[in-house]
């Protein structure tokens, strides 16, 4: 009987840990909710015809080396996301630190089914050097 | 034991039924006055604006219809995209209900010109058959915001230069406000759409 209890306990711990590991970008989520969510929405869907989605967006991988600059300095001009064109300007968020930007990028790249790999703080710093 | 379960089931069922038969009509919101022994409710005053197709939009546009009102501006960096998204959800769900229209007032009358409003409506895939984006005299738009329980004002300290609240307002065919919600909260909008259903049901019920 004790063995059964122990197995259940281990199994429970395993799933608890697994669950824990699925949401490692808690700080990025908070930053996203503070600075990005008004336009890109909780579900990363954007606004049809005006604000591009982040969920399932090809832009994130095609322009992976520019995301930090976009977040800090904003974006002007037409862009194409998943075959659709968007031209409304995006405002930058200049007050975010390099670490905060890295956390937002990692949150976006792992939320809503996105699985675009991990961005390091060094990569973010290097990107930002090129877009000052 | 079995008896208790049966009674329990019956009780749950009755409670559920009681719950579902809840309020069938929405309240009439706003300040009330007594004039000559009759109750006078808060009503949306006369207005005259112009929409994305350069057509006049007045109270007559909404004769015999209910509508949802909000205040926004196109370049708004804060709550407006969420408002538009919520309005678009309502638009899509009630697209075939001819008794319901939508009315978005731009508070940025300088920048949101008619062509820009038209472009914005087109980008959302909507037309003025259902959804009017209006501009007009700035002070009139600011003033009528208050009649819709909303706030709209110039504020150089606010992002984008305007301070405004994000309520969506449901107005019935008699110019009375029947429900409102925080247009930035998707869950509040879910509940609000149930309220719209209630009003449409009320409008379709023959008056005795």
- The answer to whether residue B188 sits within a structural domain is yes
Handedness of CA B35, B37, B38, B42 (dihedral sign): positive
Residue-level pLDDT at A10: 62
List pLDDT tens digits, range B98-108: 999 999 999 99
CB–CB of B155/B76 below 8 Å?
no
Dihedral over alpha carbons B47, B52, B56, B57 (to 10 degrees):
-40
CB–CB of B42/B32 below 8 Å?
yes
The CATH number given to whatever domain includes residue A74 is: 1.10.760.10
Residue-level pLDDT at B48: 97
- The answer to whether residue B192 sits within a structural domain is yes
Name the minimum distance, in Å, from the CA of B107 to any CA of chain A.
18
* Residue B12 or A120, more confident: A120
- Dist. CA A80–CA A89, nearest whole Å: 13
- The answer to whether residue A7 sits within a structural domain is no
- Residues 6 or more apart whose CB falls under 8 angstroms from that of B61 comprise B101, B132
Q: Under an 8 A CB cutoff, do B82 and A48 touch? A: no
Q: How confident is the model at residue B76 (pLDDT cuts 50, 70, 90)?
A: confident
Q: Under an 8 A CB cutoff, do A39 and B81 touch? A: yes
Question: Is B130 in CB contact (< 8 Å) with chain A?
Answer: no
Q: How confident is the model at residue B119 (pLDDT cuts 50, 70, 90)?
A: very high
Q: Under an 8 A CB cutoff, do B77 and A42 touch? A: no
Cβ neighbours of A52 in B, within 8 Å: none
Closest by alpha carbon to B128, among B136, B114, B138, B118?
Answer: B118
Tokens of A47: 């606004």
Question: Is B85 in CB contact (< 8 Å) with chain A?
Answer: yes
Q: Which ranges of B33-113 does DSSP label H, i.e. alpha helix? A: 80-93
- The answer to whether residue B148 sits within a structural domain is yes
Nearest CA in chain B to A91: B77
The CATH number given to whatever domain includes residue B100 is: 3.40.30.10
Length of chain B: 208
Q: Under an 8 A CB cutoff, do B82 and A51 touch? A: no
Distances in Å between the Cα of B137 and the Cα atoms of B72, B86, B114, B121, B132 are: 15, 26, 13, 20, 16
- Dist. CA B201–CA A41, nearest whole Å: 32
Q: Under an 8 A CB cutoff, do B125 and A48 touch? A: yes
Cβ neighbours of A81 in B, within 8 Å: none
- The answer to whether residue B18 sits within a structural domain is no
Structural domain that includes position A114: 25-129
Cβ neighbours of B79 in A, within 8 Å: 38
Q: Under an 8 A CB cutoff, do B125 and A42 touch? A: no
- The answer to whether residue A3 sits within a structural domain is no
- The answer to whether residue A34 sits within a structural domain is yes
Name the minimum distance, in Å, from the CA of B91 to any CA of chain A.
13
- The answer to whether residue B183 sits within a structural domain is yes
What total of structural domains would you count in chain B? 1
Q: What is the pLDDT along chain A (132 residues), one digit of tens a residue?
A: 577 776 766 666 655 555 555 578 999 999 999 999 999 999 999 999 999 999 999 999 999 999 999 999 999 999 999 999 999 999 999 999 999 999 999 999 999 999 999 999 999 999 999 886
- The answer to whether residue A76 sits within a structural domain is yes
pLDDT at B14 over 80: no
State mean pLDDT over B30-51: 93
Q: How confident is the model at residue B22 (pLDDT cuts 50, 70, 90)?
A: low
- Residues 6 or more apart whose CB falls under 8 angstroms from that of B17 comprise none
Q: Under an 8 A CB cutoff, do A50 and B125 touch? A: no
State mean pLDDT over B75-92: 92
Residue-level pLDDT at B207: 76
Question: Is B88 in CB contact (< 8 Å) with chain A?
Answer: yes
List pLDDT tens digits, range B120-170: 999 999 999 999 999 999 999 999 999 999 888 888 888 778 877 899 999
Residue-level pLDDT at A24: 82
Which pTM was predicted? 0.80
Nearest CA in chain B to A87: B123
Structural domain that includes position B95: 50-204
What residues pair up with B152 in beta bridges, in sequence order? B164
Out of A42, A49, A51, whose CB is closest to B125?
A49
Q: CA-based angle B13:B15:B16, to the nearest 5?
A: 65
Residue-level pLDDT at B151: 83
Question: Is B78 in CB contact (< 8 Å) with chain A?
Answer: yes
The position carrying tokens 């405004």 is B164
Closest by alpha carbon to B85, among A93, A44, A7?
Answer: A44
Handedness of CA A27, A28, A34, A35 (dihedral sign): positive
What total of structural domains would you count in chain A? 1
pLDDT over 70, % of chain B: 88
Average pLDDT, chain B: 90
Nearest CA in chain A to B79: A38
pLDDT over 90, % of chain B: 70
Q: Under an 8 A CB cutoff, do B81 and A47 touch? A: yes
Out of A47, A49, A91, whose CB is closest to B77?
A91
Closest by alpha carbon to B153, among B139, B167, B136, B137?
Answer: B139
């Amino acid at each position: 009987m004790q063995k059964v209890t122990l197995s259940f306990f281990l199994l429970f711990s395993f799933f608890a840990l697994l669950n824990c590991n699925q949401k490692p970008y808690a700080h990025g989520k908070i930053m996203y909710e503070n600075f990005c969510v008004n336009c890109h929405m909780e579900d990363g869907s954007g606004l049809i015809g005006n604000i591009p989605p982040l969920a399932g967006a090809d832009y994130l991988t095609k322009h992976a080396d520019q995301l930090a600059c976009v977040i800090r300095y904003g974006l002007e001009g037409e862009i194409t996301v998943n075959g659709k064109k968007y031209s409304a300007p995006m405002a930058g968020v200049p007050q975010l630190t390099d670490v905060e930007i890295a956390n937002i990028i990692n949150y976006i790249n792992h939320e809503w089914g996105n699985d675009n790999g991990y961005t390091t703080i060094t990569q973010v710093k290097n990107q930002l050097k090129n877009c000052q | 034991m079995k008896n208790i379960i049966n009674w329990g089931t019956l009780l749950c069922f009755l409670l559920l039924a009681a719950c579902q038969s809840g309020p069938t009509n929405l309240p009439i919101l706003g300040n009330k006055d007594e004039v000559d022994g009759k109750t006078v409710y808060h009503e949306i005053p006369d207005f005259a604006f112009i929409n994305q197709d350069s057509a006049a939009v007045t109270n007559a546009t909404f004769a015999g219809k209910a509508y949802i009102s909000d205040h926004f501006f196109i370049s708004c960096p804060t709550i407006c995209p969420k408002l538009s998204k919520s309005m678009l959800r309502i638009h899509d769900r009630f697209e075939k209900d001819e008794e319901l229209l939508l009315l978005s007032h731009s508070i940025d009358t300088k920048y949101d010109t008619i062509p820009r409003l038209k472009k914005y409506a087109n980008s959302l895939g909507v037309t003025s058959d259902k959804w009017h984006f209006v501009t007009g005299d700035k002070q009139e738009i600011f003033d009528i915001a208050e009649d819709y329980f909303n706030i709209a004002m110039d504020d150089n300290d606010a992002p984008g230069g305007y301070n405004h609240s994000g309520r969506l307002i449901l107005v019935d065919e008699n110019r009375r406000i029947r429900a409102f919600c925080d247009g930035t909260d998707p869950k509040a909008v879910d509940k609000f759409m149930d309220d719209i259903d209630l009003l449409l049901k009320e409008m379709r019920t023959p008056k005795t």
